[in-house]
A and B are shown apart, each in its own frame.
Chain A
């Protein structure tokens, strides 16, 4: 087998001209330095990373090194890093960036992360990897600094966008990249238009069983690789074949995606202890819930299975949450019918009749008993505000946390929580992109229906660096939809004990659609208790079936060779 050998022949011309002109010649010290530089930058083996040698103070975990190696050696720097939450995707991305910088292949890099993580990324790259990353605070930073960390929301807005489009990036890293799976969004378009040589997409949510998500994410990494969009969809959608069944697609996904599960890492994780706390409500609270349930026959709400479900779930959280939604429902209608107004009015009366919040009482009791840092998650902002007030009334210090906070405020709140306050009250959007390993108690004041979101919540504290066992308390009000969901998702399917990774497999096995849709169907559309029971049984056995199937086959789309 012959390989083409090219020989650098320009050099000798320089030598000849210097001989003719008697110089200029280098001095011996610089000559020696030049050889030393080359010896230092040489890559001695086809395999293996250079970066770890230069980072003596960092001890990456084996799976992190493996990811970095795979991306550099086999994926040509274009990859979706889809490790489960808390396995250290930042470290993996840092290693890859460092490796490319050492090899001189990356000089300019753009790192787009959630606003709340900008400072953290900046700090980690600087202290752990000695990469002089700069958080974008002034607009000249885009041009002047080599490694810039920013939030995508800032970057995509002008004047920044126009400046960024003019830069040639060697590497673009995008954290929480699952937000880019829809190609119609501004964010997607923005990332697509960046000039980039290498690209890393980080996400804890793997590519699921949706052809278009795969197409979109792969197209960001390797535009044109999948053929034209139209031809691609024609071929794959028409047959409605799932990704799993198509060998080529699967092969492709394996070429661009790496996913580690906790169980693969061989690391001793601290345990998760899950405790479900059933809560008895007071009479007015129960009445409020029941009167919402009774609306399902009401014509005015006929089309609103969704909002009814929302109201029910809110009634399980706080009266404030219900009130807020009711008020909105009323305002949205331009000329509400008298009947509609009356129904809402009646509900608002019920809301006003509620004077206590049984869950909050329970939470207070629990927080006092724990006597340590606690995070409370709720889906509703109204509940968040209420809880803050409620805890304050009882002398418990708390700080709020929301996705909408600006970066500085998020950092500040995190710091306050670590140093001053006992409780952090976070809403869903705030769950992403904040690391709180110093705390090991979570109260799920209400439960998200999407298991991925739940995993994100727990992942905030159950991650590398957590030294204690993690306590998870799930609140559910007796005889409500909340209890049903809890029973189904979190007891029958054992969601809490299994880390979510197993569930990915299960979901990808079946062309399932979102769990949330199933739940809404089960709990929202069922006309009787009986129907609900049957649907729940169905759902459970589907999942169990998939689990059994999984036992037999390999981790196709998500596994790595």
Chain B
């Protein structure tokens, strides 16, 4: 992520949270936080708790973020944001938290008399993490049509091409799902498990070999010890945590989308 991308990202994040920057150049921005965002980002629960108790007037903070310290006006004092900075990670986490669940409708207006049917889809955007002493992630977006059970990949990317709205458009109606979201979720999980299971897992085998080597080395240093000491167990456990191959599928976000039949 380059600095310009970070800048755009921040701008969009604050806009999306109804806090458009009050002052902005290409190298910095100042945001008057709303009460919600102050609570979300500024980590001052005592202040808010105090206000609630005393009934005072909330005074959310201003936040100044600098994305290009070389070019920012000299009098600007703010936090320098770069990929990897804790503040950016916090905002990333916040975006994920605030953007976890969604329900949207395709924005196709019908006419009176000719109502447009919208089909229900369950969307899951996932991250598959292959973990041992190293790590690799794969992003996967699956859509499941909750009437006929059709499953498509790159669902999120397809959605980006469609006009979407949070309210059901006029002269449109939604079809009730035949597959309940809970079992839809299970279908996607099952499909993912099968798909991952069929992959080549030599990475895991290699990790186990590295693990064994380190374990042998550790054993060597404890060889002949009369009783198994606590530190040995601690080290052994640490090796397990470091090397044991695991795959974890986490849900980034997802939700329900009601789309026309032609959409996908």
State the A residues within 8 Å of B (CB): 1-9, 11-12, 14-16, 18-19, 23, 25-47, 51, 54, 56, 73-74, 76, 98, 101-104, 107, 126, 130-132, 146, 222-228, 231-232, 235, 248, 251-252, 255
The answer on a CB contact under 8 Å between B133 and A73 is yes
Q: Which of B92, B102, B192, B193 contacts A25 (CB 8 A)?
A: B102
Complex A-B, nearest 3 residue pairs according to Cβ-Cβ distance, in ascending order: A224-B231, A34-B99, A130-B82
A130 and B251: CB pair below 8 A? no
Indicate if the CB atoms of B248 and A38 lie closer than 8 Å. Answer: no
Name the B residues within 8 Å of A34 (CB-CB). 95-96, 98-100, 252-253
Report which of A5, A38, A56, A131 forms a contact with B252, defined as CB distance below 8 A: A38
Cβ < 8 Å to A, chain B residues 168-221: 181-182, 185, 189, 192-193, 196-197, 201-205, 214, 217-218, 220-221
Residues of A within 8 A of B202 (CB): 1
B101–A26 touching, CB < 8 Å? yes
Q: Shortest CB–CB separation between residue B220 and chain A, in angstroms?
A: 5
Choose one: B98, B185, B220; the contact of A12 (CB below 8 Å). Answer: B185
User: A43 near B220 (CB under 8 angstroms)?
Assistant: no
Q: Which of B141, B218, B250 contacts A225 (CB 8 A)?
A: B218
Verify if B247 is at the interface (C-beta below 8 Å from A). Answer: yes
Q: Which A residues are in CB contact (< 8 Å) with B252?
A: 34-35, 38
Pick the interface stretch among B9-17, B20-28, B51-59. B9-17
Contact B12 A25 (CB under 8 A): no
Tell whether, in the assembled complex, residue A3 and residue B245 are in contact, meaning their CB atoms are under 8 Å apart: yes
Q: Which residues of B contact A45 (CB under 8 A)?
A: 136
* Chain A neighbourhood of B231, CB < 8 A: 223-224, 227-228
Distance of A466 from chain B, by nearest CB (Å): 26
Contact residues in A for B135 (Cβ distance below 8 Å):
43, 46, 103
Interface residues of chain B: helix, strand, loop or mixed (majority): mixed
* B117 is an interface residue with CB less than 8 A from chain A: no
- Chain A nearest CB from B128 CB (Å) reads 9
- Give the distance in Å from the alpha carbon of A9 to the alpha carbon of B197 in the complex: 19
Other A-B pairs, 5, CB within 8 Å; known A1-B201, A227-B225? A7-B249, A26-B99, A35-B253, A44-B137, A46-B203
Q: Contact mask B233-264 → A, CB, 8 Å, 1/0?
A: 01100000010011111111111100000000
Q: In chain B, what residue has the closest Cβ to A224?
A: B231
CB < 8 Å neighbour of B246 from A3, A32, A235: A3
User: Do the beta carbons of A15 and B225 come within 8 Å of each other?
Assistant: no
**Among B13, B99, B205, B224, contact of A31 (Cβ-Cβ < 8 Å):** B99
B129 to chain A, nearest CB (A): 8
| Contact, CB under 8 Å: B134 / A46 | yes
Report chain B residues within 8 Å CB of A27. Answer: 16, 99, 102, 166
Q: Which residue of chain A lies nearest to B124 when distances are taken between CB atoms in the complex?
A: A11
Partner of B15, one of A29, A104, A130, A252: A29
> Is B115 part of the contact surface with A, judged by Cβ < 8 Å?
no
Residue contact A3 to B201, C-beta cutoff 8 Å: yes
Cβ contact within 8 Å between B217 and A252: yes
The reply to whether B130 and A46 form a contact with Cβ atoms under 8 Å apart is: yes
> What residues on B are CB-neighbors of A37 within 8 Å?
9, 92, 95-96
- Taking CB atoms, residues of chain A closer than 8 Å to B181 are 12, 15-16, 19
Q: Which residue of A31, A73, A102, A223 is within 8 Å of B253 (Cβ)?
A: A31
For A2, A9, A227, the residue with the greatest tally of chain B CB atoms inside 10 Å of its CB is A227
Known contacts A3-B201, A248-B220; A25/B255 CB under 8 A: yes
* Residues 43-102 (chain B) with a chain A CB within 8 angstroms: 79-80, 82-86, 89, 92, 95-96, 98-102
Task: Report which of B2, B12, B89, B133 forms a contact with A104, defined as CB distance below 8 A.
Answer: B89
Closest to A14 in B: B101
CB<8 Å pairs between A and B, sample of 14: A2-B201, A12-B182, A28-B104, A29-B16, A42-B139, A43-B137, A51-B84, A101-B84, A131-B85, A132-B82, A225-B221, A226-B221, A227-B221, A252-B217
A224 touches B125 (CB 8 A): no
CA–CA, A231 and B256, complex, Å: 62
Whether A25 pairs with B84 at a CB distance below 8 angstroms is: no
